[in-house]
């Protein structure tokens, strides 16, 4: 059997791979021809631009814990949404198999825990920057 995926012959995969490689190479060549070369190669041109202010960073730069807390909370609530999407898609299948009530109550408990976490976050002023 000469297939890689459902209904796609191996020749098609090889053709697409070669086509993408050649097309990418042609685009790189066109970009070099059309784009030209950089002529001013001075040290000022290569320096990092920071709004015109010279870099004054210390080695012991202290980053506020609030940044990390905000990132962790974002990831936490983002994962909740990622978890809920497939649950919502497959919920009809659970109803059909007779497990709909159990799965629904499980999701209600899951949502209740996260709503409690959201209220705790608001009450503890975790996202305030004052």
Question: pLDDT tens digits, residue range 1-55?
Answer: 444 455 557 888 899 999 999 999 999 999 988 887 766 677 776 676 666 565 5
Domain contains 113:
yes
How much is the pLDDT for 27?
94
Per-residue pLDDT of 19-34, as tens digits, reads 999 999 999 999 988 8
Under 8 Å CB-to-CB from 103, ≥6 apart: which residues? 87, 91, 94
Structure-token pair, residue 41: 């190669």
Query: If DSSP codes are grouped into helix, strand and coil, which group holds residue 38?
Result: coil
Domain contains 48:
no
Q: Rounded mean pLDDT of 61-88? A: 82
CA separation for the pair 99, 120 (Å, rounded) = 32
pTM given for the model: 0.45
Which domain covers residue 96, as residue numbers?
65-123
Query: Do residue 119 and residue 69 come from a single domain?
Result: yes
- Provide the number of structural domains found in the chain: 2
The three-point CA angle 35-37-43 to 5° equals 130
């Amino acid at each position: 059997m000469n297939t890689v995926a459902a209904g796609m012959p191996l020749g098609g995969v090889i053709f697409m791979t070669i086509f993408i490689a050649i097309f990418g190479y042609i685009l790189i060549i066109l970009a070099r021809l059309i784009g030209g070369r950089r002529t001013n190669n001075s040290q000022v041109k290569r320096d990092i631009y920071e709004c015109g202010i010279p870099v004054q960073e210390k080695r012991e730069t202290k980053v506020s814990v609030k940044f990390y807390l905000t990132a962790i909370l974002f990831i936490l609530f983002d994962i909740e949404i990622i978890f809920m999407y497939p649950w919502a898609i497959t919920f009809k299948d659970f109803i059909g198999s007779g497990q709909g009530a159990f799965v629904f109550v499980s999701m209600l408990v899951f949502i209740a825990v996260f709503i409690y976490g959201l209220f705790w976050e608001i009450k503890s002023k975790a996202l305030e920057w004052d």
